[in-house]
Structure formats: C-alpha cells, structure tokens
Amino acid sequence: MPDTPIKALFFDVFGTLVDFRTGVAREAERLIAPTGKTLDWGAFADAWRGEYQAGMEEIRSGREGYVRLDIIHRRNLDRILPRFGLEHLDEDTRAELNLAWHRLDAWPEVPAALARLRTQFRIAPLSNGNIALQVDLARRNNFLWDAILGGDFSRDYKPKAQIYLDAVDAFGLKARECLMVACHSSDLAAAASHGLHTAHIARPDEHGAGRGETAPSVTVDFAAADLADLAEKLLIPR
C-alpha cells in the first residue's frame, strides 16, 4: 500500500470496465444481419478496434485538432466496411452502428465493485471515450461517476501526459493521491511516469478468449484478478 492515502481512482473504460468486443459484435450482428449479410462478428469488432490507435494518433501527433472519439469511431467504421463487403451500407445504419460503443456492457463484477469503491474514493473514468459516450455507458451500467475526465476534458488522447495531469488537477489532488486502474500495461506505465499510483486488472478475454493481459508487464502498485479483487485490496473495512 502506498504511503500517501489514495483519494481518487481513475479508470480506463474500454476493456477494463466494459467488454467492448462482445458488445460491438452483438450490435454489428443486430444491425447488419437483417441486410442478409453474415459475418464473423467478432472479427468485425476486432477490425474496427484495430483502427483505434491510428485514428487517435492523428490528434496526439498534432496533425489534426481534437475531434471526439465518436467521430474517430465513425471514420474507422467507414474504413473497414469495404473489407467486409459492406461498402453500400446505408447512412442511417452506419450512424446507428457507431453507437455500438455507447451500448457496451460492463464485465459482470464491475457495477457492484465500482459502487463499493465509490464509498471511499472519488471515481472518474479516464478514457479516450468522449463524454456523451461515457454518459451512455454509465447510465446503461449504473456507473455513478464523480466527474467524467479523459479525452473530451483534455482535448487529446491517452497516453499523452495532459490526460493524466489534468485529471489529478481537476480533482485538486497530487498525483500520488491518485490511482490509475487499467487492464493495459501501457496506460499504467504512462500514469506511473507522471507520479500516479497504478492498479492492473486482468482481462484475459479482452480481445476474445485468451487474448488479453493476464498480468501487468510493468511494475504496478496493485495487480488484481478483477475489479472486485481490487476493491478487496483497496477498501478499508469500516
């Protein structure tokens, strides 16, 4: 346990709190199957997510001004559709399909664990997902956030320094009073480099069965099997 009391927890969302692959595959099937097309829906989700980093890199690099993740998701969707023979998918279906990212379900233990953590810590998503997206995920999964920080607040994308520094500052805290929670070692490495504490959550099935981090590849303060396990490690019995 760190020496300084931790006062706030910041959460990665895609992968860490919600199962995006299952949700995107489900929404793709719901919206595309009625057109008569049958795909490997998981592969479709993988392809879409596969464009994620490149889309944000345009903003992180400064080549483009900030645009919210909804817009990047939509560009990426338009980019992958031809690979699946869906270049003629109509505009309304594309717009609706883009909301798949607003309709993701939490991993099973998350809502209850987050509610427990909320009793002793300030909590906020620190995600690249924009505010409207986070609000929809929160409403769907009963996440009660103190604030929504991350991409829209900082007008940039993780792992840029500003995302982490702005979050610490917004809560009026010092970095060592904050804990970044993620299932991606790269996110935790960036947070730690700015003085935040870090907790890794194992998500072995993030990208499909057996395709996710089971343990951190960097030094962390906590390594947990899931969010309920992290709550056990962090919460002070009262």
Residues that bind its own copies (CB under 8 A): 70, 122, 130-132, 134-135, 138-139, 144-149, 152-153, 170-172
User: From the CB of 77, what's the least distance to its own copies, in Å?
Assistant: 16
- The Cα 144–Cα 65 span in angstroms is 30
For residue 7, the minimal CB distance to its own copies (Å) is 11
212 and 205 in contact (C-beta within 8 Å)? yes
Is residue 10 within 8 Å of residue 149, measured between CB atoms? yes
Most distant CA pair in the chain, distance: 59
Q: Choose among 15, 46, 72, 3: nearest CA to 188.
A: 15
Nearer to its own copies (CB atom), residue 167 or residue 228: 167
Q: How far is the CB of 41 from its own copies (least distance, A)?
A: 26
Question: Is the bond preceding residue 159 a cis peptide, omega within 30 degrees?
Answer: yes
CB of 48 to its own copies, least distance (A): 19
User: Scanning the structure block, which residue is given the tokens 């070692």?
Assistant: 185
Q: Looking at beta carbons only, is 147 or 161 nearer to its own copies?
A: 147
Name the minimum Å distance from CB 173 to its own copies: 8
Min separation Cβ 131 and its own copies, Å: 4
**Residue among 148 and 196 whose Cβ is closer to its own copies:** 148
Q: How far is CA 30 from CA 23, 55, 82, 111, in A?
A: 11, 25, 19, 25
Decide whether 41 or 157 has the Cβ nearer to its own copies: 157
- What 8-state DSSP symbol labels residue 225? S
Nearer to its own copies, 139 or 233 (CB): 139
- What 8-state DSSP symbol labels residue 14? B
Nearer to its own copies, 168 or 182 (CB): 168
Selection from 9, 8, 2 nearest residue 181 by Cα:
9
Amino acid letter at 215? A
